[in-house]
C-alpha cells in the first residue's frame, strides 16, 4: 500500500513556483510560491467550472444542471500552468477545466479570505455605539454633495451601514427632498402610508406619530415582514417650543449589552414572537390596511449576528399568541431591554433643512413632546428605502467593475 506522501507525489505536478495536487479526501490543493495554501473541494471546482460549456460569461450564470449528470466526478489529474497562471483539471469523464489563480484566490475557503469578502463586499460591519460615543460616531454631510457627488453618496451610505445614522445639512425647503434622496439611492419603498409620509400634528390623527405627545423609542413598521430599511426624515419646519427633539438609541448595542449582561433575557427576546399590528388607513388614496407580523424583539441572522430590532409600544398587539409562562418571562426581559435602551438614548434637535436618516432595522428613535403655535407648525416629510437597494448601490459605487 502506498503511503500518503507517495500518493500525493504520484499526482503532483511541479513547476518552478506554484504547485497543485489532489488530496485523497476529495480536495485539490494549490501551494503558492509565496506560501499561501489554497484548498478547494473537487465537487466545488466541478460545480464552478468556467469553461463555455459550463458557464455563460455574459450573464455570469452557471449552466451545469442535474440533467447533465452528477457533479461528484473525480479529478483525474491536476496541473498548475505557470505561463497562463491557471489551475488545470482533467476529470475522469475527460472534461477539462481551467481556473485563473486570481479567481481562485478570491474564492479561498480560508477564514481570512471569507471574512474579507463578507466585510468588504457583502456588508460592512456595524460599529455599535452607546450614549457616551454619540458625538464620536455622528456624521454629517451636505445634502447637495450627496445629490451631486458619488464619493459623498458612498460615504453617506457607508455611515448608514456602519454607524447606523447620519445627518444631512442644507436641504432646500421642498417637500420632495426625501423622495429625491430615495431616488438618488435607487427606489423609494412604497408602503401603506404612500410614497412619502408627512409628520405633523393633525386633527383626528390616524397614527400616534401625528400627535404632539412624546413618541417613545421605537422602530417603524415591526408589523411588516419586509420592514423599511432606512427612514429618511426631512425637517421642513421645526418646533420653536422647547420640545420636538429627536431621541435615538443604537438597538444593536442595547441587544448586545443584554446578551453580555443578561443572557437569559436576551434569549427570551430573541426567541419569543410578539404580534405587531397596524390597522387603519393612510396615504394618498386612504386605502384601509390591516398589517400583522409575528417576530421577536431581537432577530438574528444566519451567522447568529443581531440583524433586526422590533420595538414599537404603540403597535404591539394585546393579542400575544404565546403560552402564559412565556408571557411572564417576556415582560421581565422586555423591561430590561427598554431600561437599557432608555439609559443609552441621546437627544438632539434637528433644524429646518436637516435630513435625519437612520437604519430602521437597528436604531430606536423617538421624539419629545412639543407645542405647535400659530405660525409655527412642526412639519417633517419622511420616506423609506430598503437595504437591498442601499447595499446594491453601495457595491456599485465601491466596485464599479465587478464582473462576478
Ligand atoms: Zn466545464
Cα 66 to middle of ligand 1, angstroms: 14
- C-alpha count within 13 angstroms, C-beta hemisphere, residue 349: 14
Cα 40 to middle of ligand 1, angstroms: 16
* pLDDT of the residue at 282: 73
Cα 67 to middle of ligand 1, angstroms: 15
- DSSP track, 38-55: EEEEHHHHHHT--STTTE
Q: What are phi and psi of 294, to 5 degrees?
A: -100, 120
Distances (CA, A) of 234 to 137, 189, 272: 21, 16, 35
Cα 68 to middle of ligand 1, angstroms: 11
Outline which parts of the chain fall under CATH 3.30.2020.30. 4-109
* pLDDT of the residue at 22: 86
- Domain 122-398's class? alpha beta
DSSP three-state, residue 65 = coil
Q: Over 151-196, what HEC string results?
A: HHHHHHHHHHHHCCEEEEECCCCCCCHHHHHHHHHCCCCCECCECE
Distances (CA, A) of 226 to 24, 91, 234, 394: 46, 45, 23, 20
Q: Which stretches of the chain score pLDDT less than 70?
A: 1-16, 66, 203-206, 283-285
* pLDDT of the residue at 283: 58
Q: Which helix (H) or strand (E) holds 325?
A: helix 324-343
By residue count, the chain amounts to 404
CB 179 within 8 Å of CB 196? yes
| Residues whose CB falls within 8 Å of the CB of residue 328, separated by 6 or more in sequence, listed in order | none
Let me know how many helices (H) and strands (E) the chain has, helices first.
Answer: 12, 22
Q: How many Cβ atoms sit within 10 Å of the Cβ of residue 172?
A: 12
Cα 96 to middle of ligand 1, angstroms: 6
Cα 279 to middle of ligand 1, angstroms: 55
* pLDDT of the residue at 9: 37
Outline which parts of the chain fall under CATH 3.60.130.10. 122-398
* pLDDT of the residue at 144: 98
> What is the second-level CATH architecture of the domain 4-109?
2-Layer Sandwich (3.30)
Cα 184 to middle of ligand 1, angstroms: 41
Cα 42 to middle of ligand 1, angstroms: 13
Cα 91 to middle of ligand 1, angstroms: 10
Cα 64 to middle of ligand 1, angstroms: 8
- DSSP track, 116-159: HHIIIII-PPP----GGGHHHH--EEEHHHHHH-HHHHHHHHHH
Cα 116 to middle of ligand 1, angstroms: 28
- DSSP track, 198-228: EES--TT-SSGGGSSS-EEEE-S-TT-TT--
Cα 30 to middle of ligand 1, angstroms: 19
> Using CA atoms, how far apart are residues 391 and 347, in angstroms rounded to an integer?
28
pLDDT tens digits along 162-186? 999 999 999 999 999 999 999 999 9
Amino acid at each position: 500500500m502506498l503511503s500518503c506522501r507517495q500518493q500525493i507525489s504520484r499526482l503532483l505536478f511541479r513547476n518552478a513556483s506554484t504547485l497543485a495536487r489532489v488530496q485523497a479526501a476529495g480536495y485539490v490543493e494549490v501551494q503558492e510560491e509565496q506560501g499561501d495554501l489554497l484548498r478547494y473541494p473537487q465537487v466545488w471546482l466541478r460545480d464552478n467550472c468556467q469553461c463555455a460549456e459550463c458557464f455563460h460569461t455574459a450573464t455570469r450564470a452557471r449552466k451545469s444542471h442535474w440533467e447533465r449528470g452528477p457533479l461528484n466526478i473525480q479529478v483525474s489529474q491536476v496541473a498548475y500552468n505557470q505561463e497562463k497562471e491557471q489551475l488545470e483539471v482533467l476529470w475522469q469523464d475527460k472534461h477539462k477545466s481551467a481556473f485563473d489563480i486570481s479567481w481562485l484566490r478570491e474564492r479561498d475557503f480560508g477564514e481570512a479570505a471569507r471574512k474579507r469578502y463578507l466585510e468588504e463586499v457583502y456588508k460592512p460591519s456595524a460599529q455599535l455605539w452607546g450614549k457616551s460615543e454619540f458625538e464620536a460616531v455622528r456624521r454629517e454631510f451636505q445634502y447637495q454633495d450627496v445629490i451631486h457627488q458619488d464619493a459623498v453618496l458612498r460615504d453617506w451610505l457607508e455611515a448608514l451601514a456602519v454607524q447606523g445614522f447620519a445627518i444631512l445639512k442644507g436641504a432646500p425647503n421642498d417637500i420632495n427632498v426625501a423622495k429625491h434622496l430615495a431616488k438618488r439611492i435607487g427606489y423609494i419603498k412604497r408602503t401603506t402610508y404612500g410614497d412619502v409620509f408627512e409628520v405633523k400634528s393633525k386633527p383626528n390623527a390616524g397614527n400616534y406619530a401625528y400627535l404632539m405627545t412624546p413618541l417613545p423609542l421605537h422602530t417603524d413598521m415591526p408589523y411588516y415582514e419586509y420592514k423599511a430599511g432606512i427612514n429618511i426624515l426631512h425637517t421642513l419646519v421645526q418646533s420653536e417650543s422647547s420640545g420636538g427633539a429627536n431621541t435615538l438609541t443604537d438597538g444593536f448595542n442595547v441587544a448586545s449589552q443584554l446578551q453580555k449582561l443578561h443572557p437569559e433575557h436576551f434569549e427570551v427576546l430573541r426567541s419569543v414572537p410578539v404580534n405587531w399590528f397596524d390597522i387603519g388607513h393612510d396615504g394618498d388614496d386612504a386605502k384601509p390596511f390591516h398589517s400583522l407580523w409575528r417576530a421577536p424583539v431581537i432577530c438574528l441572522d444566519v451567522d447568529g449576528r443581531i440583524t433586526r430590532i422590533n420595538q414599537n409600544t404603540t403597535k404591539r398587539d394585546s393579542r400575544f399568541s404565546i403560552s402564559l409562562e412565556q408571557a411572564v418571562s417576556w415582560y421581565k426581559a422586555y423591561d430590561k431591554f427598554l431600561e437599557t435602551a432608555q439609559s443609552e438614548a441621546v437627544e438632539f434637535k434637528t433644524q429646518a433643512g436637516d435630513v435625519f436618516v437612520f437604519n430602521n432595522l437597528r436604531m430606536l428613535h423617538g421624539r419629545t413632546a412639543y407645542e405647535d403655535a400659530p405660525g409655527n407648525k412642526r412639519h417633517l416629510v419622511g420616506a423609506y428605502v430598503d437595504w437591498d437597494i442601499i447595499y446594491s448601490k453601495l457595491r456599485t459605487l465601491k466596485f464599479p467593475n465587478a464582473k462576478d
